[in-house]
Amino acid sequence: MDCVDFDALEAEARAKLPAPSFAFCATGADDEITAAENVTAWRQLRLRPRVLREITSIDTSVSLLGTRVAAPIMVAPTGRHHLFHAEAERATARGAAAAGAVFVMATSGTTTVEEAAAERGGAPQWFQLYMEPKRAETGALLDRVAASGFRALVLTVDQPVPGWSPRASRTPVMPSPDIRSVNMPGAPIARTAYDPSRKGVVMFPTTFADLEWLVVRMPLPVVVKGVLRADDALRCIDAGAKAIIVSNHGGRHLDTTVTTAEVIGEVADAVAGKAEVYVDGGIRRGTDILKALALGARAVLIGRPVLWGLSVRGAQGVHDVLDHLRSELVRAMQLSGAVSVSEATRDLVARSR
């Protein structure tokens, strides 16, 4: 891949996938303003490179919740990978493992946690959770996750009710009784968040009390995903969260939110060493990753580009996307005079006029 291949990869995925599958991947909520601005916001930031540094050896490795990984790039939790490849989450997990990257598996996957765990190799895996109303049902899933060797739990908190996508509603994914959300209670038919039957339904009404319960109940570190405010980040940490993911769900549920590039610095400053901070949303280039690191993120999560790679080349495509981003990050660090992730500091970034 070269620096324009993500655009070509997206087009290749669009050509290969059924229209409903591509729409589900690509769509944002309502007018899709946030989905578009997530990408633009990173591009509008400017780099202020240092010169005359020794940059022959670049170290992209970073520690994530105590585990050293080769690069600060993770696979974001995205659901229903059967829409993109016959091997579904198994292929995604295998591709992430080949790249040595953390794979965050989604609750709404169509592969069991045990099947995904079998593909991890030596790479760490985390599990993304939607809290069920009945804690006993959530607890049963948590026990399976822990027994399967996942190393962290990612609680998504920004989707108490589904958003709405006019684009996805025009080309809907038709649910099939043969395809089920196998890790949810009762293994229900795998409907998307944009299924008309879910419009306006309060599906995951998680509260700070639930977070406190989860921290006590789960023998793994808990990460909270979907935070856009410093005060919420601090409350999550007070409740026991070990890390925060600054995210607006890819612009898929509440349109016209702030972009993650706008608020990552604010959240990172507020947290100030109390917990790790990660960010997702619109990251498409190695320069975007460098900017995120400079603004205070310890790592980034990649969503849609991973699904493009999965759609086109399965596990190999997932690996290629992650490897491409790491290569771009290395080059961006070299050209900016930062030889390690720790040298990606705030002074490397300026706001565009």
Q: Give me the active site residues, please.
A: 249
Q: What's the full length of the chain, in residues?
A: 353
Distance, in Å, from the CA atom of 330 to the CA atom of 321, rounded to the nearest integer, reads 14
User: Which residues, at least 6 apart from 328, have a Cβ–Cβ distance to it below 8 Å?
Assistant: 3, 285, 286, 287, 289
Determine the angle formed by the axes of helices 260-271 and 33-44, rounding to 10 degrees. Answer: 70
Q: Do the Cβ atoms of 288 and 42 come closer than 8 Å? A: yes
SS (H, E, C) 176-222: CCCCECCCCCCCCECCCCCCHHHCCCCCCCCCHHHHHHHHHHCCCCE
With a CB cutoff of 8 Å and minimum separation 6, the contacts of 86 are: none
How far apart are the C-alpha atoms of 105 and 153, rounded to whole Å? 10
